[in-house]
Structure 1
Amino acid sequence: MRYIYFIITIPIIILGYICLIFNIFQIKYKLNECMTLTDKKFAEIPDFYIPYLIAAEDHRSDFHYGVDQVGMLRAICKVFFNHRIQGASTIEQQFVRVVTGDYSYSLKRKLKEQILAVILVRKRKKIDIARAYLAIAYYGHDCEGTEGISTLAGDNLQLVSETQIISIMARLKYPQPSVNIDKWETKFNQRVAYIRKRHQQLAKKLDQQEMNATA
């Protein structure tokens, strides 16, 4: 699976390095900003948060190289056949989006985001990017980054329950608003249930793989 992802990501890798050489889209500056923030922020979040983040936002993270083409194809099919909009951004793309502050709805923005995500994965470890993302992400009204997580789970981020971690991850898709809390809670609770189930599935799959490897 990783081999297939690598093959289909080669065009983006080549395009990315062309953009780096000629500094198209100011890629050099934006890449340095992403790398600097990764190095600065990753240590703020414990490792054990990341499996829940992957379950919530990017369950094919172990296979792709910054862009999930399978997820993109699935999202396009959802729009075409079911008229439903579904996100397909990887953790790395979401991190890039927050760092650059570019939330515009355009193909140009999406292309820049994908290029930066793919190059960033070649420069920094995925787990460090993921931890840095949680350290700067938006979780709701007056709740952002590491300070926001501390507000939700307490000052000691090492001493948190699974329920607290899942609650944090659910807010990435559904940030808590300052008003209309009842309406938000319905979607939030559904998201919590989804993440819990997905995490259990991924953990079970990982356990099975480890058992097969030692058999």
Structure 2
Amino acid sequence: MAKRTVLRLVYLLLSLPMIAVAILCYLFNFGNVRLYYKQCINAARKNNKTYSQELIQCLYFGEDKRGQSHLGVDYIGVFRAILSIVKGQLQGASTIEQQFVRTVIGRYERTLTRKLLEQLLSHLVCLRLTKLQIAESYLSIAFFGTHMQGVTSLCDRLAPKSYDLSFYAGVVARLKYPQPKRESQVWAAKHLNRTEWIMRQYNSANKAFKTDSQRSAFSV
């Protein structure tokens, strides 16, 4: 708990300058920030889908493990991504807020300008909406594969026999590896590995939580 509190404070201090810039861009509508922001808020308001806690947790473990601590932009992840680029590797640092914003405004060009816009909007969205609202809104419109726009269309196509941890982890795995029109062994292997990795993260975190709860109970 103390570690998360410190982490939140660090993210707050790192985010304040960008939040100030984001507010100024909104007030003066630099780069159509106000228009894009309204599109994001309207998309969240239109969403009437709710999802199980297991799916939401899988989303965070798979896409944004520090998502409950930052304010829309994971600056620790950004720093690590920059270091990986310097080393000749590629590592993403997009948060759920950023992925939601990107999907709503439809901007996918690989430029620093687009990335900066995305970060500014993510801060603004995070100030207005709850983490759960953003996560559920994103899941409702995210691209999971061919003819799979949002969790509802994915379920309609796959018609799962059961909704369990394995299924939810597989849903989130498709964010990194969208399901192609024709499945291949290569895609299936990548998807399976990603699914199992998310499940391990989920089980490990919940095991740690139960252990901490038991320790707290004994210390009372």
Tell whether 2:54 aligns with 1:51.
no
Q: Deviations over 1:154-182 (max 9, x none)?
A: 489xx611111111010000001124612
Q: Assess, with a 3 A threshold, how the Cα gap between structure 1 residues 6 and 96 changes in structure 2: closer, same or farther.
A: same
Letter in 2 for 1:15: V
Residues 78 and 155 from structure 1, CA distance in 2 versus in 1: closer, same or farther, beyond 3 angstroms? Answer: same
Match of 1:163 among 157, 166, 171: 166
What's 2:108 paired with?
Answer: 103
Cα offset, 1:17, TM superposition = 0.4
Query: Alpha carbons of 1:213 and 1:15: their partners in 2 closer, same or farther (altered >3 Å)?
Result: farther
Higher relative contact order (CA 8 A, sep 6+): 1
Mapping for residues 130-209 of structure 1, pairs under 5 Å: 130-151=135-156, 154=159, 160-179=163-182, 181-209=184-212
- Rounded Cα–Cα distance in structure 2 between residues aligned with 1:44 and 1:131: 6
Which of residues 38, 42, 47 is equivalent to 1:41?
47
**Deviations, residues 81-122 of structure 1 (Å, cap 9, x unaligned):** 2x2211100000000000000000000000010011111011
For structure 1, the 5+ residue unaligned runs are none
Over 3 Å counting, the alpha-carbon distance change for 1:211 and 1:64 in structure 2 is farther
- Is there any run of 5+ residues in structure 2 with no aligned partner, and where? 1-6
1:139–1:172 Cα contact (<8 Å) kept: yes
Change (3 A) 1:42 1:72: farther
CA-CA distance at 1:55 after TM superposition: 0.5
- The answer on whether the counterparts of 1:45 and 1:132 sit within 8 Å (CA) in structure 2 is no
The alignment partner of 2:196 has SS state of: helix
TM-score, structure 2 as length reference: 0.89
In the alignment, does 2:80 pair up with 1:74? yes
Equivalent residues of 2:44, 2:134 under 8 A apart: yes
Q: Distance in 2 between matches of 1:39 and 1:110?
A: 24
The 10-residue stretch of structure 1 (47-56 or 123-132) with the greater mean CA deviation from structure 2: 47-56
In the aligned structure 1, how far is the partner of 2:95 from the partner of 2:209?
A: 20
Partner SS for 1:3: helix
The range that moved more, 186-195 or 2-11, is 186-195
Report the equivalent of 2:132: 127
User: Structure 2 vs 1, CA of residues 33 and 47 (structure 1 numbering), >3 Å: closer, same or farther?
Assistant: farther
Taking the aligned partners of 1:147 and 1:180, their CA distance within structure 2 comes to 20
Question: C-alpha separation between the residues in 2 aligned to 1:26 and 1:211?
Answer: 51
Using the size of structure 1 for normalisation, the TM-score is 0.91
- The CA RMSD over aligned residues, in Å, is 1.9
